Structure 1
Amino acid sequence: MASIKDVAQRAGVSVATVSRVLNDKGYVGHNTREKVEQAISSLNYKPNEVARSLFKKQSSTVGLIVPSIMNPFFTELARAVEDTASKLGYNVILCNSDGNSEKEQGYLDVLQQNYVNGIIISSNTLTAEQVESLNIPIVSIDREISSGLPTIVVENKRGAAVATRFLQKKGCKRIAHIRGTVGVVNAEERFEGYKEVVSSEPWYQESYIVNGNYDMQTSIQATLALLERHPEIDGIFAANDIMAIGAIKVAHQLGLKIPEQLSIVGFDGIALTNVMTPELTTIVQPIYELGEKATTMLVGLMRQQPVEETYYRLDVELVEKNST
Structure 2
Amino acid sequence: MVSIKDVAKQAGVSVATVSRVLNNKGYVSESARKKVEQSIQELNYKPNEVARSLFKKQSKTIGLIVPDIMNPFFPELARAVEDIAAELGYSVILCNTDENKEKEQHYLDVLLQKYVDGIIVSSNTLSAEQIHKLHIPIVSIDREISQGIPTIVVENKKGAQTATRFLKDKECKKIAHIRGPLGVTNADERCEGYKEVVSGEPWFRESYIVNGYFDMQSSIEATNKLLRLHPEIDGIFAANDTMAIGAIKSAHQLGRKIPEDIAIIGFDGIALSKATVPELTTIVQPIYELGKKATTMLVHLIEKKPVEKTFYELEVRLVERHST
TM-score, normalisation: structure 2: 0.98
1:176 equivalent in alignment to 2:176: yes
Partner residue in 1 for 2:218: 218
| Residue type at the aligned position of 1:77 | L
Secondary structure at the counterpart of residue 63 of structure 2: strand
Give me the whole-angstrom Cα distance separating, in 2, the residues matched to 1:106 and 1:22: 33
The Cα RMSD (Å) is 0.9
Offset, 1:29: 2.7
Measure how far apart 1:188 and its partner are: 0.4
Offset from partner CA, 1:129-166 (integer Å, 9 cap, x none): 10001111100000001100110000000000000000
Identical-pair percentage: 74
Cα deviations by residue, 1:222-260 (Å, 9 ceiling, x for unpaired)? 110000000000000000000000000001101100000
Residue 131 (structure 2) aligns with: 131
Q: How far off its partner does 1:192 sit?
A: 0.4
CA distance in 1, matches of 2:263, 2:177: 12
Measure the CA separation in 1 of the matches of 2:172 and 2:165.
10
Determine the C-alpha separation between the residues in 2 that align with 1:29 and 1:208.
76
Q: Corresponding residue for 1:298?
A: 298
CA distance in 1, matches of 2:77, 2:219: 22
Superposed CA offset, 1:185-235 (max 9, x none): 000000000000000000000000000011111111111000000000000
Q: Distance in 1 between matches of 2:111 and 2:20?
A: 26
Q: What are structure 2's unaligned runs of at least 5 residues?
A: none
Paired position in structure 1 for 2:227: 227
Q: Distance in 1 between matches of 2:200 and 2:219?
A: 26
Q: Distance in 1 between matches of 2:258 and 2:122?
A: 34
What does 1:1-16 correspond to in 2, within 5 Å?
1-16=1-16
Distance in 2, matches of 1:116 and 1:200, equals: 50
Task: Identify the range of structure 1 (89-98 vs 17-26) with the bigger mean alpha-carbon deviation.
Answer: 17-26
User: What is the alpha-carbon distance in structure 2 between the residues aligned to residue 197 and residue 31 of structure 1?
Assistant: 74
2:32 aligned with 1:32, yes or no?
yes
Q: Distance in 1 between matches of 2:218 and 2:203?
A: 26
Distance 1:10 1:129 in 2: 52
Gaps of 5+ in 1: none
Match of 1:72 in 2: 72
Letter in 2 for 1:277: V
Counterpart position of 1:282: 282
Q: CA–CA distance in 1 between the matches of 2:24 and 2:117?
A: 18
Instruction: State the distance in 1 between where 2:23 and 2:227 align.
Output: 64
Is the partner of 1:93 in helix, strand or coil? strand
Question: Mean Cα displacement is larger for which, 67-76 or 44-53?
Answer: 44-53
1:27, distance to aligned residue in structure 2 (A): 3.1
C-alpha separation in 1, matches of 2:35 and 2:115:
30
State the aligned residue count: 324
Residues 16-27 of structure 1: pairs in structure 2 closer than 5 A: 16-27=16-27
Corresponding residue for residue 198 of structure 2: 198
Partners of 1:155 and 1:94 lie apart in 2 by: 26
Q: Which residue of 2 aligns with 1:112?
A: 112
In 2, Cα distance between the equivalents of 1:29 and 1:306?
35
> 2:134 aligns to what SS in structure 1?
coil
Q: Which residue in 2 is equivalent to 1:253? A: 253
Partner residue in 2 for 1:271: 271
Amino acid at match of 1:268: D
2:68 counterpart SS class: coil
- Local SS of the residue matching 1:279: coil
Q: Distance in 2 between matches of 1:227 and 1:271?
A: 27
